[in-house]
Amino acid sequence: MDVMKAPVIEVRDLDLNEAVRNVSFTVAEGEVYALLGRYGSGKTTLLEMLAGLRRSTSGTVRFRGADPYDDRDSARAGAVWRDGGLFPGLTVTEVIDTWRRWTLDPLTRDEALQMARLTHVADVPFEQLTPGQRRMLDLALALIGRSDVLFLDEPTAGLDTADAREVWSVLLMLAAHGVSIVVTTRDPDEACRADRVGILDEGRLVTGRDADRLRAA
């Protein structure tokens, strides 16, 4: 019999004006939760609230009982945003080393490179990276603080099929090691890679279901 895990992330009756309306869901340790919705459905705004970048007008977000907006140290959380970072003039190693200097108790350089599968391009300048490698660098930076919670806003947007598959391979590996992940997407097929899916429409979570049920729909 499967044992229910206590939630790492708890969202209850979350509102922000008209952008996010009465959203509730939980994410357990090692679970991948996908927020599926079209452009303008409120996915990014909701993710920013979960990451502690926006304060709700009502409702709550809790990481193991703490508010991520008021207590940024409540969980080791990392984020990857759709536009990604730009690091002209720096190699992959230099970007990671710079990020490490800004981070308390960071991963080692080699750990960050290995987790994001970037060891083979460690000395490559940012400008020469492929779109997929740039996305993996974003992921490496999100992990440097030993993140056990990850938020990703359409992480495969603009990537080809092989690069998108590589991103998801790393995400599923991280989840298997206990990282809780919330990822937004506009692609139902991609959402089915997650353990559970919440469908957003005009800021409302209109349904939540297991990915297996979505695949069968």
pLDDT per 10-residue tile (average), the chain, 217 residues: 71 87 92 93 91 89 86 80 92 97 94 97 97 97 95 95 96 96 94 93 76 50
* Predicted local confidence at residue 208, as pLDDT: 60
144 domain residue, yes or no: no
**CA-based R_g, the chain, Å:** 17
* Cβ proximity of 134 and 126 under 8 Å: yes
59 domain residue, yes or no: yes
129 domain residue, yes or no: no
Which amino acid is it at 161? Answer: T
164 domain residue, yes or no: no
126 domain residue, yes or no: no
CATH number of the domain that residue 27 is part of = 3.40.50.300
Q: Which helix (H) or strand (E) holds 92?
A: helix 92-101
Structural domain count of the chain: 1
Average pLDDT in the chain: 89
In terms of residue numbers, what domain contains 52?
1-75+178-217
Tracing tokens 């997929």 back to the chain, one arrives at: 132
* Predicted local confidence at residue 26, as pLDDT: 94
28 domain residue, yes or no: yes
Q: What is the pTM of this model?
A: 0.89
136 domain residue, yes or no: no
* Predicted local confidence at residue 209, as pLDDT: 56
156 domain residue, yes or no: no
* Predicted local confidence at residue 11, as pLDDT: 93
* Predicted local confidence at residue 1, as pLDDT: 40
* Predicted local confidence at residue 67, as pLDDT: 86
Q: In sequence order, what E strands does the chain have?
A: 7-16, 20-28, 32-36, 58-63, 77-80, 149-153, 180-185, 196-201, 204-210
